[in-house]
Amino acid sequence: MEEQQKSSHVVLVMVTFQGHINPALQLATILHSKGFSITIVHLELNSPNPSNHPEFTFVSIPDKLTKSQLSDKDIPGLVRSVNKNCAAPLQQCLEKILHSHHHIAAVIYDSIMFCAQPIVNDLGLPGVTLFTHSALGLLFYHIFPQLNEKGIPL
């Protein structure tokens, strides 16, 4: 029984931006219904209420976002700040979870948290990206580098 519990722990790294919260929690609920224990690592910003999901363990990491960053319309800058500010706390958090659970079946992270993949690689954990945007949003991932190459600011 203990071995099964060790192999069925999933960590979900959630960005708590509008439009990202519900898909992440829905995925966590589905995985939990399939027998996985769930730890949700999330930004301090717009933190979910743990009492709404008592079946999950919630861990907050500091995002160090300022009010001006949140009110600014520079979304790519905000995403860069989230990744810069959260990389070290995320690594420390995942190391702590790994130490306490000894095994993590997977780390599923929001695509905005692209700093997560190098961290899970360094820890030897499987990482899976969760795309919470529409198909059009996914298309922009292919267009952004082309716009950047042409010098068009994002």
Quick: pLDDT tens for 65-89: 777 777 767 777 888 888 999 999 9
How many Cβ atoms from other residues are within 10 Å of residue 56's Cβ?
Answer: 19
Residue 154 lies in a domain: no
What total of structural domains would you count in the chain? 1
Largest distance between two CA atoms of the chain: 56
Residue 12 lies in a domain: yes
What's the CA gap between 27 and 5, in Å, rounded? 19
- Three-state secondary-structure class, residue 150: coil
Whether the CA torsion 142, 145, 146, 151 is positive or negative: it is positive
Specify which of 22-26, 68-72, 90-94 reaches the highest per-range mean pLDDT: 90-94
Of 9, 42, 63, 110, catalytic? 110
Residue 110 lies in a domain: yes
Percentage of the chain surpassing pLDDT 70?
88
CATH number at residue 104: 3.40.50.2000
- Three-state secondary-structure class, residue 95: helix
Whether residue 110 lies in the annotated active site: yes
Residue 29 lies in a domain: yes
Look up the pTM and report it. Answer: 0.81
Token pair for 9: 């722990």
Residue 20 lies in a domain: yes
Of 20, 99, 103, 122, catalytic? 20
Parent domain of 108: 2-149
